[in-house]
Amino acid sequence: MPITLTINDRPIEAVAGQTILEAARANGIVIPTLCYHPALPIVGSCRLCIVEVEGARTPQAACGLVAREGMIVRTETPALARDRRTILELLLANYRDAEYTAADRDDTEFEHWVKLYGAQCPPGSTPRPQRKVNSDPNPFVWVDMNKCILCTRCVRACADVQGRFVWRPNGRGARTDIVAGLETTMLEARCESCGACAAFCPTGALDNKMSVDAGKPDKKVTTTCAYCGVGCQFDLNVKGNRIIRVTSTPNAPVNGMRLCVKGRYGYDFAHHPDRLKRPRVRKYLLETPNSKHQIPKSSLQSEWVEVDWDTAFDITARKLREARDTFGPDSVGVLTSAKCLNEENYLMNKFARQVIGTNNIDHCARL
């Protein structure tokens, strides 16, 4: 049942159970956040999303405050701006950006809000990194805990999205930091290198190692992963006609922000020098297109030549038909791919059983 409330002097309809933050965002009203992400459990630790609620003595965290009928809320006032600037400056006191990856991306979420509210590094704080940059040997995830603000998004992403429980808060109070396992490396803590922690990190403390020093993309192209039949979508970051990074898109209908290690980091095959870009056939098949004789021994060493797709399909269909008609349908075996969509594998099943007439069909997926 919908409820009505007022946000910034504007009547808003919200769904029962929605938080103030969710209702505001659904109506195009921006409330700053750092620890919050719609795909993660709410913790309300950063307090950057505080709003003024009429009748409340103190500002309230919008991410955890359930909207109620008749509420009057203000999301941006001079007092709130001052409080948010103070929060950001407290976070800046322990934030150290060595700018190793600054040229690879636009402003992070944290940098965006720091600039928007004019937060300044407190006097006397040193900008020098206090921890080792690129501190973990993981081949895919860049770790620079100098930029960690303890939002715990990486902890929740690893536990609640991926179910690996690699990251955890360590210590108490001002001595708290985020560590992998029992202060081990990520791989020793059972990391699958899915990159979820880097995808959710709002500061760049966790980043994609393959993209460091690659620069900023010229464009982003939304595509579907080619590795399995699930159909995960993501954005390819392209620079100079080369893929330099994969970023999650929360609008992906199948996977949201989730990706496996192959989907997020296995894109280098697209530019491999050995990748075939056009079909090839043995030269003798072009020289004797209608021959049904046995394959000559020398043909096994016959050179490969590039052809168009129609020629390749014609030769494939002809040789399959010859094998079926000469030696019977069970002389043909069909192997499908785990990289195909479920619908494509269904068609291969129909092709094997109804076109060729054999039950000799298998697949390469062994999950």
Q: Among 274, 308, 341, identify where a domain stops.
A: 274
Q: For 157, how many CA atoms within 13 A lie in the half-sphere containing its CB?
A: 27
Take residue 188 and report the two structure tokens written for it.
Answer: 């020793």
User: Has residue 152 been placed in a domain?
Assistant: no
Q: What is the pLDDT of residue 292?
A: 56
Q: Among 76, 94, 109, identify where a domain stops.
A: 76
Q: What is the pLDDT of residue 109?
A: 96
pLDDT at 299 > cutoff 60: no
Does 285 lie in the same domain as 267?
no
Does 24 lie in the same domain as 67?
yes
pLDDT at 67 > cutoff 90: yes
Does 363 lie in the same domain as 342?
yes
Confidence band for 231, pLDDT divided at 50, 70 and 90: confident
Q: Among 45, 76, 107, identify where a domain stops.
A: 76
Could you identify the residue written with the tokens 């990856």?
101
Q: What is the pLDDT of residue 89?
A: 95
CA pair distance 49, 43, nearest whole angstrom: 12
Supply the pTM of this predicted model.
0.85
Question: Span 247-265, mean pLDDT?
Answer: 94
pLDDT at 297 > cutoff 80: no
The region, left, alpha or beta by phi > 0 then psi within -120 to 50, assigned to residue 134 is left
Alpha-carbon distance values, 169 to 91, 135, 178 (Å): 16, 17, 5
User: Has residue 24 been placed in a domain?
Assistant: yes
**Pairing mode, if any, of strands 72-74 and 60-61?**
unpaired
Confidence band for 301, pLDDT divided at 50, 70 and 90: low
User: Has residue 84 been placed in a domain?
Assistant: no
User: Has residue 148 been placed in a domain?
Assistant: no
Cβ 62 vs Cβ 21: under 8 Å: yes
User: Residue 237 is part of which domain span?
Assistant: 217-274
* Residues 77-134 pLDDT 10s: 999 999 999 999 999 988 988 777 777 788 999 999 999 999 998 777 766 788 899 9
Q: What is the DSSP string of 160-175?
A: III----EEEESSGGG
Question: Span 329-338, mean pLDDT?
Answer: 92
Does 280 lie in the same domain as 268?
no
Does 68 lie in the same domain as 50?
yes
Confidence band for 262, pLDDT divided at 50, 70 and 90: very high
Total domains, the chain = 4
- Measure the N-to-C terminal CA separation of the chain; round to a whole number of Å: 43
Alpha-carbon distance values, 186 to 77, 131, 133, 202, 284 (Å): 43, 16, 15, 19, 53
User: Has residue 158 been placed in a domain?
Assistant: no
Does 72 lie in the same domain as 10?
yes
User: Has residue 230 been placed in a domain?
Assistant: yes
Q: What is the pLDDT of residue 254?
A: 92
The secondary structure element, H or E, covering residue 5 is: strand 2-7
User: Any idea what the CATH number is for the domain that residue 254 is in?
Assistant: 2.20.25.90
CA pair distance 251, 234, nearest whole angstrom: 9
Does 72 lie in the same domain as 24?
yes
pLDDT at 143 > cutoff 90: yes
pLDDT at 291 > cutoff 60: no
User: Any idea what the CATH number is for the domain that residue 64 is in?
Assistant: 3.10.20.740
Q: Which residues contact 103 (CB under 8 A, 6 or more apart)?
A: 213, 215, 216
User: Has residue 104 been placed in a domain?
Assistant: no
**Pairing mode, if any, of strands 334-336 and 361-363?**
parallel
Q: What is the pLDDT of residue 367?
A: 47
Q: What is the pLDDT of residue 176?
A: 93
* Residues 187-225 pLDDT 10s: 999 999 999 999 999 999 999 999 999 999 999 999 999
pLDDT at 1 > cutoff 80: no
CA pair distance 252, 31, nearest whole angstrom: 23
Average pLDDT, the chain: 91
User: Has residue 348 been placed in a domain?
Assistant: yes
Q: What is the pLDDT of residue 366?
A: 59
